[in-house]
Amino acid sequence: MQIPLDPKIKELADMPYTISYIIRKRQQIDNLNELSKKHRPTDELIWDSTPEELDDFLERVMSGKEQTTVDFKIKPNEIESG
């Protein structure tokens, strides 16, 4: 992972907020890339929305609409009897 680190920064508390922002964003994008393509938020949502809007989007795409059950088709003539 190509996180932009700087050898001059010795302690986490010293890390400028710009670098920690980039790192957090990188982690967020890595996590979102774990989702299937159709469930991923758009660039606008990732970069320009509020955290609540992004949460709402993820809630919406992940809740109920994603297939969580598997249907089996059973043909009567394939059932073994006795």
Partner 1 sequence: MSESIVEKQDVNISKIFDWGRVFEVINPTTQEVDATVYMKLLGDADLGRARVYALRKSSELRRKLREENSDERVAYIRTIDELDEDNLMNFIVIFSGRELSTNARQNVKIKSPKPPKSDAALEKMEKFQKEVDEYPERRQKAIADAIEKEVEKLKKSLAGKTKEELYRQYVKLLVDEFCEREALVAFEDMQVFLGCYTDDTYKVKFFSDFEEFDNLEPNAKQLFKDAYKQVDIDINELKKLRRATQ
| Chain contacts with partner 1 (rule: CB under 8 A) | 2, 4, 6, 8, 13-22, 25-26, 29, 43-44, 47-48
24-63 burial, b if ≥16 CB within 10 A, otherwise e? eeeeeeeeeeeeeeeebbeeebeeeeeeeebeebbeebee
Closest Cα partner for 57 from 43, 40, 37?
Answer: 40
Shortest Å distance, C-beta 27 to partner 1: 9
In the bound state with partner 1, the residue whose beta carbon lies nearer, of 20 and 66, is 20
Shortest Å distance, C-beta 39 to partner 1: 19
Shortest Å distance, C-beta 13 to partner 1: 5
